[in-house]
Amino acid sequence: MTGTPGPDQPRSFFDRLTEPLADRAREKLNQAEDKVRASIQAEIDAVQASVRARAVEVRPSAIAFGAAVLLTFFGLALLVTASVLGLVEGGLDPWLAALLVGVALILIAGGFAAWGKARLPKPAPKVAPEPHPAGDQVHPWDN
């Protein structure tokens, strides 16, 4: 079996010549790998610290907006309930008043959805690649 000689086998001239070079190259590669790893970790740590600092700054605003959304939802629910009760007081049966208000809300939501869909940006048209003048005889990597 051929390979690197063991401690009790004599080393060839080529092994004695290349071994220090290989050790030095291995050491330099390990140093470069450590430097790259350290710089990437430093970049990750910097981004992480920046995101944490920004989250601490934004947290009160996010809580306030969340509370505003929740209170708006409850306010709209009370307005819907009040409109149903107003129709009931006007002489309609409760089920019919709820049905009318529900249909009206669905129509309004559909209008908002149609308006939002119309305002979406148009997708870019797909462009077909032009065929190569040589046809199929061109190697795919030669583009």
> Could you read off the pLDDT tens digit of each residue along the chain, which spans 143 residues?
455 555 566 667 667 677 878 888 899 999 999 999 999 999 999 999 999 998 888 888 989 999 999 999 999 999 999 999 999 999 999 999 999 999 999 999 999 999 999 998 888 888 777 776 666 665 656 55
Enter the tokens of residue 79.
């307005």
pLDDT of residue 20: 79
- How far apart CA 107 and CA 115 sit, in angstroms, is 12
The answer to whether the predicted template modeling score (pTM) of the entire model surpasses 0.75 is no
pLDDT of residue 130: 76
Q: How far is CA 33 from CA 5, 30, 40, 67, in A?
A: 29, 5, 11, 49
Mind listing the pLDDT tens digit for each residue in 74-111?
A: 999 999 999 999 999 999 999 999 999 999 999 999 99
Q: How far is CA 141 from CA 70, 73, 95, 130, 138, in A?
A: 57, 58, 70, 16, 8
pLDDT of residue 139: 60
